[in-house]
Each structure stands twice: as C-alpha cells, then as structure tokens.
A and B are shown apart, each in its own frame.
Chain A
Amino acid sequence: MSVIAQLVIVAAGILFPIIWMVSSSFKSSADVTAYPPTFLFRPTLENYTRLLQTTPFFSYARNSLIESGSSTLIGLLLGVPAAYAASITRSSWPALVTLSARMAPGTLFLIPWYIVFRDLGMVGTYGALILTQAAITLPIVIWVLLPAFDAIPRSILEAAGVDGCGTLRSLWRVALPLVSSGLVIATILAFVFSWNYFLFALVLSDENTKPLVVAAFNYIGEGSTDWGGLMAAATLIALPPLVLAIAVQRWLVAGLTLGAVKG
C-alpha cells in the first residue's frame, strides 16, 4: 500500500474519535442513541442550548479561564527569570526540580496541599487552585525555556554586557527577544496543560470554583447519560486547547521534547 494511503488511514483513525465527539454533539437525542450509529443526521444545536441553559457552563468556563490564566501568568513571572538565571549560571537545580515535578505523581503533592489548605480554610478557593496549577505551569515554562536560553550563544550576552546592559536589561532587551518563539510555546503549553489538568481541581475545587474538566466529569457522574449534552460539553472544553495548539503546531513538539533531551 502506498505511503499516502497508509497515512490517510492512520490520520482517519486519529481523527475519528474527535469527529465522533463533535458530530454526536450535534445529534438529536434519538440520533445519538441510535444503534447502528447514524452517520448522516440532521444537525441540531439543542444539546448546546440545553447545556448552556441547564448548567452554569459559563461560570465553569470563567473558573477555568481564571485558574489557567493566572497560573500561567505566575508560571511565566517566576519561570522566565529563573530559567534565565539557571542558563547563565549553568546551575542544574531548576532542571532537576522541573524534572521531579514532572515525574512525581500528583498525589505526592496533593495530600500535603489538601491538609494545609484545609487547615488554612482555603479548600475551594481560587487561591488554592491557582497556586497548585502554578506547580504545573512553572515546570513547563522552565522546561521549554531553559534549552531556549541555553541555545543563545554566550558571546551575544557578553556583547550586551560590554554594551552596558545589566543582567535584567540583558534578559529583557536581548535574551527574551531571542527566545520569543519559545516564550509563546511556553505560554501556550502552560495554559493548555493547566486547562487540561484534572486531579488537583478534582480535590481542591468546590461548586463555585470548579473548572470545566471537573464539571464535565461530574456531569458524567450524574448518570444522566445525556450523551448529546456530554459531547457538547466535551467539544467546548476541548476547543481552546486545540485552537491554541494548532496555532503553534510547528514548534509544539520541539517544545515538549527539548527539555527531556537535556535531562
């Protein structure tokens, strides 16, 4: 079989679940539960209108946005200068800590966090969720940017120093522009992974601060098997990460991989 034909088959296999999810979200309840499954159907928006009317979908979406956005911001604010300093001084602890944070199972952190936040009365607050999600975003930012900073020839930074740039100004005026694509990747990956992260919010959020992924999970749990509504929710939740990732597709995999090659 020709290479192209094989590729088409594989791509179709990869695409199928996503297409199935999206198409199911536009099926009437009769169509979505039909067996054999319907491939041709009259699309309807009823699942979306029902989802938005009967659930506080927008407030969950706002929660997701607040938590992922803030934790991404914190990750950048802390991670960019740290990655730069680590790259300049060739110190290895940030890479090590980053790796540990990536390798350790979430439960390892979650138990102490839960106990401490409970004692502080912070369970269910945005603060707790943002802080814990920042423990996801910070390693991603360092993971992506450390190799990017390392790739800048030292002589360029030395030239900046000779030209009278202090450490901060070298970072801001010389190093950051040189890693700008890495910065975009880091931001998007941090946001997407925070958006997608499930475990911490599962334990630490409450009805008012619940992000979309947890809300969607609870929606399954209700046993309603409102498949159409469920797929509508799934589609909406998956949309932002997909759009962001496709926007930076060319650099995405390198961003996810480079940090590992260093380790």
Chain B
Amino acid sequence: MASVRMQGLKKRFGAIEVIPCLDLEILDHEFVVFVGPSGCGKSTLLRIIAGLEPITEGDLYIGNQRVNDLTPAERDIAMVFQDYALYPHMTVYQNMAFGLQMRHTPAAEIDARVQNAARLLDIGPLLKRRPRALSGGQRQRVAMGRAIVRDPKVFLFDEPLSNLDAQLRGQVRSEIKALSQRLKTTMVFVTHDQVEAMTMADRIVVLRGGVIQQVGAPEEIYGRPANRFVAGFIGSPSMNFLPVTLLKGAAHLLDGRKLNIGATLEGQAVLGIRPEHFVPAPDGSGMPVEVTLVEPLGSDTLVHFLVGDIKCIARVAPDTKPLVGERLPLAVASGKAYLFDPDSGAALPAGILP
C-alpha cells in the first residue's frame, strides 16, 4: 500500500530514447491503467517500477522511499506477467509459496496465505498441479495468486489478459476490478486495449512514444480528450476527424457542405465526431451522406460513408435500416462535436457552446 511517484524519469536503450521525460504520481490504493499503442513504452515503464529495467535518469519513489537503487525484491512489489512466468517445475502451491519462502516467512503463515489466496481465486483444487496441467485461464489465476500472497505495496500487471480468449478476458477483467476493490492495494495495469482501460481504471494514463498524452478518470478521457491522439485512441470505432473551416458557428467541410455545431471559434480546425454522436437529422436539416457499407451489430448498426475522400462511421439505432447507396441525413448530437488544432492536434478549449 503506497503511492508511486516518477520525477523527470528518462529511459534510453543505448541510443534509442524510449521515455524522454516523464512525471507521474500514482496515489495510494489507486488503480491506474497505462494504455497506448504497441511500442509506446508501457511495459518499459512498468518494468522500471518493478526494478527490472534500470532508470537512465530521474527518480522513482514508492511510498516515501526513493527506490532507484533497490532490487525488485527490495521494492516489495508483485508483478503478473503477460506470459504468466510460472515456474514450470513447481506445483501451483510451490509457485505461490516461493516468493514468501525467499522472504523467510514462517511455513504456517505461508500455508495460510496460499490457502487464502487459493480460496479468493477459486483455485483450491489446483494447488497440487504443475502449470503444464492448467488451462490458460487457470495459469492466469495462479499468476495473480502468486502476486496476492505476497501482499505487496504495489501490484503490477503487464497485459495479463492478452493471452486469454475474448469471453474469459471479459470475466477476468471484472474479477480483477472486484479484487482491486477488495485488496485496496495500489495497482498499475498495462494494456493496449482501451476497453480494459476504460472498464477497470480509477485513472487512465494515455501514452504515446513514451510521452504522457493525458491522465484522467475514464469519463474524463472519453469526454474531454486532451488531443486528437487521445480522442482517436479511446473509443471504438474511433472518432471521425474532418478538416473544417469554422465560420459563424458552423463547420464548413472541404466539399462545401456545412454542419451546425455551435462553435464559438473561427478559422481552420479539425472537427472530431464520435460515431455514437451522429444522430439522424430531421428532414431538411443536417448533412445528407451516401451510405457505402452497413454493419449491423445487433445492439446498434454501423453506417460507413465518405466525406470527400475521408472514411467516416456513424453508430445508429438498429431500427434505422439504411441501404447501401441511400442518402442518410445526419447531424451531430448537441455539444458532442470536438475541435482540434489542425497543426498541434491539441483540443481547442471552449470550442463548443454548451
């Protein structure tokens, strides 16, 4: 149970700069998710916290202690690896007990903790098995069990769900979330899957190229993305981006059509609209688009169309059954248009009237 603080953190692999300079504070008991595209440095950051990668420059604190020079063992953290990293020659019980044995915990206490974790994770009957005799989901639980028994200051997870099938992933996701609320331990969770980030996190840290793009609660990240990258990364399907000229509250598209969004700014901008924020327009208003593809998902329907040569997607109610080639008039839900600086990509403040 402790906070984790990074100050002016830099990481280079030889000449390659992976983390240019990073400041971040993770609060005690907080569930923080690092999310970002593959290769953005999430794992590196997590492994730096774990002590598996040396810090090139800057400071790392766990609690009030500067831990730059501490070994992973001394940092009192536990980690769940992407491939679980179970010891193949040890039973489930031995796997969970090993870390405690290394800390010279009395045998009776080891047993109590292992049994307790096994109960918590529902793996009691597996304790005598070796990892090879376990399914992927069971291995994943053992890996979590190994972390739980240690009762560490911080839990670190490196994409622990990516080797599970979709259904199991959803289930374990909610279990981890429930677990975190029970254990009340600081958790740092790395994923490239924005759904995992949204569903589990108290706070999300969006990374790109080793640089923090935005830190915030899931609603905040989704509702007030700091820039075009965050806006495009969070949400599925991605936000649509259209270059526009703003004039008198309306966004003028390149092909001359216009959308009324109630903008207060004027000039060049990039208009961002989430697919779910398109609404069918009453007759005569809105922007008619020509449907190029229809993907019914059951709960709703994705409508593809082109604006100029930019591919866009709208998410509409399933009873709107547009046909390919049909012209569908669309408008933007009130207050749901986003504007970004065309050069920097930064969200334009106060761009939209409430």
Determine whether A and B are in direct contact in the complex, meaning some CB atoms lie less than 8 angstroms apart. no
Q: Which B residues contact A (CB, under 8 angstroms)? A: none
Chain A residues packing against B (C-beta within 8 Å): none
